[in-house]
Amino acid sequence: MKSIALAVLLATAVAGGASAQTASFQCPASGTEFTYKGGAFEKVNAAAGQDGTTCLYNSLSNGKAEALRVHGGLVGSVDAQGESFAKGLDLKALWPLKVGNKITNTVTVIGRDGKSYTSTVTMTVAAYEKITVPAGTFDAFRVEETKADSNSRNIHWWSPAISASIKESFPDWRDPAKTIVLDLVSVKPAGK
C-alpha cells in the first residue's frame, strides 16, 4: 500500500512540475556525467560544482580536456573570449525559466585576433516542449539565442529533470553556413 501511495505522490509531483512550466536555476550534482554526440563531434561533461550562477564541468571534447563554465546553465565558455561574452549577458534575468522570458544585452568582447567586437544578443525562452534524444524523452525549455548582426542562432533545450541541456544547436565555427546539433546520449548520475 505504501508503494502505491508513493507512486501516486511521485506521479503527482512530476505532473505538477511539468504543468507549472517554470524552472528555478540549479546546477547538476557534482559527479553527474553527460555525454553528447553530433556528427563527428563528441563531448563528455562531468559536473564539478557551482560558482554562483555558473555550473562548472570537467569536459572532454573530441579528446581535448577543458574546464567548462556554463553561465546561467545555458552559455558555455572555455576561454577568455567566451567568459567575456557570457559575463556580458544578464542571464539571471531569464530565471526562473518561463516561456516568454527574454533578455537583450549589448556585449563587447576582444576576439582571438585582438580586435574588439560588439554585438546585441537576445535570449528568449521560446517554448516548453517534449524533446526526444538518444538518452530519452524530456520536458525541456527551448532557449533561443540570436545576435542582431547575424542570421544564425544558438538553441539550447534545457531540462529541469537533469538541470542541464539535453540538446544544443549552433553554427559550426569552422563553417558558419553549417549547423552542429549535439544530442544527449547518456546521463550517468553521480556515484554510479
- The whole-number pLDDT of residue 68 equals 94
CATH number at 177 reads: 2.40.360.10
> Cell for 34?
553527460
Task: For 129-152, write each residue's pLDDT tens digit.
Answer: 999 999 999 999 999 999 888 887
Q: Residue 162 has what pLDDT? A: 96
Domains: count for the chain: 1
Find out whether 184 and 44 touch, Cβ atoms under 8 Å: no
Which pLDDT score is estimated for 141? 97
125 belongs to a structural domain: yes
**pLDDT tens digit string along 11-38?**
333 333 344 589 999 999 999 999 999 9
Look at residue 13 and tell me if it is in a domain: no
Above pLDDT 70, what percent of the chain?
Answer: 89
Write out the three cell numbers for 97: 525559466
As a whole number of angstroms, the distance between CA 162 and CA 70 comes to 14
Residue at 52 is within a domain? yes
pLDDT < 50 stretches in the chain:
1-19
Distances in Å between the alpha carbon of 133 and those of 107, 136, 155? 32, 5, 15
Beta carbons of 97 and 143 less than 8 angstroms apart? yes
pLDDT for the residue numbered 82: 83
pTM for the complete prediction? Answer: 0.84
Domain that holds residue 99: 33-188
Q: Flag whether 8 is in a domain.
A: no
Query: Do 28 and 46 meet the contact criterion of CB atoms below 8 Å apart?
Result: no
Residue 15 inside a domain? The answer is no
User: Helix or strand or coil: residue 84?
Assistant: helix
Cis ω before 96 (30° cut-off from 0): yes
Model pLDDT, residue 109: 81
Alpha-carbon gap, residue 22 to 95, rounded angstroms = 9
The confidence score (pLDDT) of residue 20 equals 58
Contact criterion met (CB below 8 Å) for 192 and 47: no
Q: Answer yes or no: is 6 within a domain.
A: no
Residue 10, SS3 per DSSP: helix
Within a domain: residue 11? no
Residue 19 lies inside a defined structural domain of this protein: no
> Given this model, what pLDDT does residue 12 score?
30
Q: Beta 41-51 vs 33-38: how paired, if at all?
A: antiparallel
